[in-house]
Amino acid sequence: MKSNQLNFEDIERIIEMAWEDDIPFDAIEAQYGLKEQQVIELMRSRLKPSSFKMWRKRVSGRKTKHEKKNQT
pTM: 0.82
Whether residue 9 has pLDDT greater than 80: yes
Whether residue 61 has pLDDT greater than 90: no
Q: Where are the beta strands (DSSP E) in the chain?
A: none
The mean-pLDDT minimum among 13-17, 20-24, 46-50 falls in 20-24
Would you state the pLDDT for residue 65? 75
Whether residue 66 has pLDDT greater than 90: no
- In this predicted model, what pLDDT tens digit does every residue of 19-41 receive, in sequence order? 998 999 999 999 999 999 999 99
